[in-house]
A and B are shown apart, each in its own frame.
Chain A
Amino acid sequence: MGMIDQYIYDGSFEGFLTAVFEVYDRKPTRVKIVSERLVTENFFDEEHTIYTDQAKSDRVWKGIEDKIGKKAGNLIYKAFLSEQSDREQVLLRIIKKGFKGENVTDNFADIDVLRLTNLVKIVGREKHRMDAFIRFRLTKDNVYFAEVEPDFDTLPLNAIHFKNRYADQKWLIYDRCRNYGIFYDLKTVNYVQLEISNDINSSLAAPFYFTHDEMHYQDLWKNYFKSTNIPSRKNMRLHLQHVPKRYWKYLSEKQP
């Protein structure tokens, strides 16, 4: 058993692609790509810090799109956003197989392809949930503001959906877990980092941040949610399956 080389990168997609570049460049016999957030001290492994390099990252990305295909590139990116602990290893094997000319998108009998498909599926589902569960509140400075805590890092995927849909209103969607947001200023969507006051969700402070009508519309929506229910068909199990409790925190209709 030889030592395992640990390539430690900053957790970004560009960082990961840089690490893939280094794997092809340095040709280690046994390698593990690890995000610095998840690194664990290991006496037997040798650690190497990978510094994110845009040029190297671009080269690998171009290689993936040209040689393995745009579809595969898209899948790899989405799977990466899953933040699952095995993502780097699975994606590295997928990329290696792809560069060797193996099919990595439809061959569902291959265990890595299945895992890739599975990661893409869970990320896609979470992205779709965010498209559905995001609730905007209109602030006094005329920005539609929403907070989220998605299971995976989906905001980069949500941006286009919201840009196409709300082209005529300013909006900001903020990921409280990952502490960044996407902001649309009527022209483009940009990544932003903000200090958000702790009292923004307290009902006492709400009139300070949000418009007068905002409270009324939330109230109307809550009323609508109740009126449209059919009690004789009640099925809470199905309800919870579709709207798991962890999402209730930011759903206007679920507020007391």
Chain B
Amino acid sequence: MNFERIKEKLNILADAAKYDVSCSSSGSKRANKNKGLGDSSGMGICHTYTEDGRCVSLLKILLTNHCIFDCAYCVTRKSNDVKRAAFKVQEVVDLTINFYRRNYIEGLFLSSGIFKNADYTMERLVLVAKKLRLEENFNGYIHLKSIPGASDELMREAGLYADRLSVNIEIPTEQGLKLLAPDKKREDFIKPMLKVKNEIIQYKSEKKLIKSTPIYAPAGQSTQMIIGATGETDAQIMYTSAYFYKEFQMKRVYYSGYIPISHDERLPSIGTDVPMLRENRLYQTDWLLRFYGFSIQELLNKEHPNLETDIDPKLSWALRNLQHFPVDVNHADRRLLARIPGVGMRSVDKIINARRYRKLGWEHLKTIGISMNRAQYFLVCASSQFETKDRTAAQLKSLIMGTSASKWRGAYSSQLNLFESNANVTVS
């Protein structure tokens, strides 16, 4: 192995792959078999974290950064003047195995620029996965990118070796896509997604009858959207997201704040801050939809097309819906407990368990670990001391914000200053 050459390729092709946020290695059911190498039946593991604080779980690389497309938001686009490189199939296999054996990674996340055509590219990605599974008896995690426009036959084969498949829809709205990626069509993204979805459904039904049905993409599929490249609203993003969760049974939708990488009039200029706070609020909303029983219409709608930046979306919803509060933690059902600001799902579980043995007061709630600073105004418990004053939403918000120390404070206070000159401040 020529290590110097591999190092050069790795630097180029890891650098080009890093804008894909997904690094999930969980949700598969692939156990070690025949005393081979690897096991991905447990929970995901982050083996290290980059200096930007993102988890490193998989060897995330492109097979090549040669690409026939010219999508404005992409660092690998045809017209961009960057160094190009391509791995050989066997090189990716060797790197994966040797990194895995040293416990650096949970597996491989392989994507690629599109060279020649969709099927030619997809075929090579599948070949890497096939070699890892069949020749190396590798049971670690494999995430393959579905190349837009790839044939059904190849998508079928991909799922036999990969744990997860994903196609990034990248731009939340169709107009945005037309503007920034004129060569790409939404249908091309949807086609492989649909095939994978149908294969998963078929696998699940066949598995019930025939136990030996070969496993198909056990960790499901995911997708990603770039945030802040085309001036879309939070509502547009989250309604698109909700659609993909529902229609394609996505395991995850990722939101990636746009990182300016080129001088292009259609895009935010280089040096523009990455919208990390917005990204964070979108993820919080995503969690509320998937785990807390909220519906999208409650959080974002015509009246509220964008999330508030200075408070989290659950608190924001609560302040708009004070009629549901206070919630009695000793009697309320799971669904209601989950709606109290400052109470996470783990705390909900603990409250439900603990209250079977005694009535819970403030002290118990504190030790259970709920965030009192927010929660105290929205609940009653077994204590004579609780909020008796009727406060307006605006009063509550300023009370809570006055006592909270958000890591984002710097971010939103500067954003607020920006609009101060022409803001309409309503004092209630």
Contact residues of A with B, CB < 8 Å?
103, 106-111, 114, 128, 131-138, 144, 146, 161, 164-169, 213, 216-217, 219-221, 223-239, 241-243, 251-253
Contacts and interface: CB of A to CB of B under 8 A. Distances in A.
Contacts of B182: none
B259 A232 contact: yes
B5 to A, nearest CB: 11
Contacts of A228: 14-15, 17-18, 50, 56, 60
B10 A223 contact: yes
Contacts of A233: 52-54, 259, 274, 276
20 contacts: A103-B357, A107-B353, A109-B357, A109-B358, A109-B364, A128-B45, A167-B32, A167-B35, A169-B37, A217-B102, A220-B3, A221-B104, A223-B11, A225-B50, A225-B56, A229-B52, A230-B18, A235-B51, A239-B50, A252-B102
Given A230-B50, A234-B52, A135 B354 contact: no
Given A111-B367, A146-B103, A228-B56, 9 more contacts: A107-B357, A108-B353, A134-B103, A216-B1, A217-B102, A224-B14, A225-B48, A228-B60, A252-B102
B37 A106 contact: no
A224 B12 CA distance: 10
Given A169-B37, A227-B10, A234-B51, A135 B45 contact: no
A242 B102 contact: no
B70 interface: no
Contacts, number: 155
A125 B51 CA distance: 21
Interface stretch (B93-101, B197-205, B312-320, B371-379): B93-101
B350 interface: yes
Interface string B368-396: 10000000000000000000000000000
Contact of A136 (B15, B18, B102, B353): B102
A217 B60 contact: no
B52 A135 contact: no
A109 B354 contact: yes
Nearest to A233: B52
Contacts of B357: 103, 106-107, 109-110
Interface of B: 1, 3, 6-7, 10-11, 14-15, 17-19, 31-32, 35-39, 41-42, 45-56, 59-60, 95, 98-99, 101-104, 137, 259, 274, 276, 350, 353-358, 360, 364, 367-368, 407
B274 to A, nearest CB: 6
Nearest to B11: A227
Contact of B367 (A107, A108, A225): A108
A221 B101 CA distance: 12
Nearest to B407: A237
B102 A221 contact: yes
A166 B355 CA distance: 43
Nearest to A236: B51
Contacts of B101: 136, 138, 144, 166, 169
Nearest to B52: A233
B46 A132 contact: yes
Contacts of A169: 37, 101
A108 B102 contact: no
Nearest to B261: A232
A60 B147 CA distance: 59
